[in-house]
Amino acid sequence: MTETPVLVVTALGDITADLVLDELYGRGVPAVRLDPAADFPGAATMSARIGRGAFTGEVTTSTRSLDLSAVRSVYWRRPTPFINPQAAETPAQRFGVEQSRRGYMGALTALPGARYVNHPGRNQAAENKALQLATAARLGFEVPDTLITNVPADAAKFATDHGTVIYKPVHRVHLAGEDGRNRTVWVRAVHADELDDSIALCPHLFQACVPKIADIRLAAVGEEMFASRIDTDGDHLDWRQDQSLINCSPVPVPCSIRETVRAFLHAFGLTYGAFDFALDASGRWWFLECNPNGQWAFVDEATTGAIASALADILQKGDTT
């Protein structure tokens, strides 16, 4: 492939990435899709060379060869996770899994001159819930009173002081049920009399409950921002729990929110972020979290198309520094 391509790192079946790929293909921009945990070593091979001030190499599949030094930008979406090395049956297998994860992913995160949306290292830092909430508060977002604790008495007092409080995991997690299928831990309301000594086992995140009338999902792509109001048909606190019950409609972004979102992205070195806000009756936007790799393809068709176009613009331009 002689033209400088866009590399899209994600799993097969990622509908969100498909929209961006379709936009790139429609513009005639070459793009290569790769899923390291699934493609290596069977469907693809890789050689990366580092020396004399240069990084070169190639990824080869049955149909094409990708020059790693020529990649203009990388859309790092959601590649298939490598298995836990400890789950491998033998020491040799554990070694192979760990070397594969570090080797393939390490090389793909070190491409010279490529613009990452976003670099996975930046994503990882921005997913630190305590850090993002502290940063949001420092920058001027309205942030609900928050407590991260493993002290049962402190949790009970916080719940008593605030009445109904919200519980959410400190980090996104899926728990396997008895049938082996992953279960999501949804955001939910709790009261002081529900809290017991099991809180001592690990940190828990509690927030004062915002009397919201709707949710806002804001997708920030560089300087562009696309906000959608999310109304839920029912009393689900966490709208993600059943997206068949939600209705999304575009809303303008207040200037103060726009400025603070830019500052937040800059603080974490992000090009893209999906921000969640709670909207109260007075019109205030309460910062809940930022997912640096959050979904956006579920909102209305026009907004979805605009976000795909904005992402394609940045990927097509590549590194402009």
Q: What is the pLDDT of residue 174?
A: 61
Q: What is the pLDDT of residue 173?
A: 67
* pLDDT tens digits along 52-109: 888 999 999 888 899 999 999 999 999 998 877 677 778 888 898 889 989 999 999 9
Q: Long-range pairs for 166-171 at CB < 8 Å and ≥24 separation?
A: 166/190, 166/206, 166/207, 166/208, 166/209, 166/237, 167/204, 167/205, 167/206, 168/205, 168/207, 169/205, 170/129, 170/130, 170/203, 170/204, 170/205, 171/127, 171/129
Q: What is the pLDDT of residue 1?
A: 43
**Exposure letters 137-151 (e unless 16+ CB within 10 A, then b):** eebebbbbebbebee
The H-assigned helical ranges of the chain are: 15-26, 36-39, 91-108, 120-126, 129-139, 152-162, 255-268, 301-317
Query: Could you tell me which of 260, 255, 253 has the C-alpha nearest to residue 142?
Result: 260
- Contact present, 115 and 319 (Cβ < 8 Å): yes
DSSP letter assigned to residue 61 = E
State the maximum Cα–Cα separation within the chain, in Å, rounded to a whole number: 65
pTM of the model as a whole: 0.90
Task: Output helix, strand, coil percentages for the chain, rounded to the nearest 5.
Answer: 35, 30, 35
DSSP letter assigned to residue 240 = G
- The residues of the chain scoring below 50 in pLDDT are 1-2
Q: What is the pLDDT of residue 2?
A: 45
Rounded CA gap, 265 and 193, in Å?
A: 39
Rounded CA gap, 268 and 263, in Å?
A: 9
How many alpha carbons lie under 13 Å from residue 45 in its C-beta half-sphere?
A: 4
∠ at Cα 31 (25, 36), nearest 5°? 140
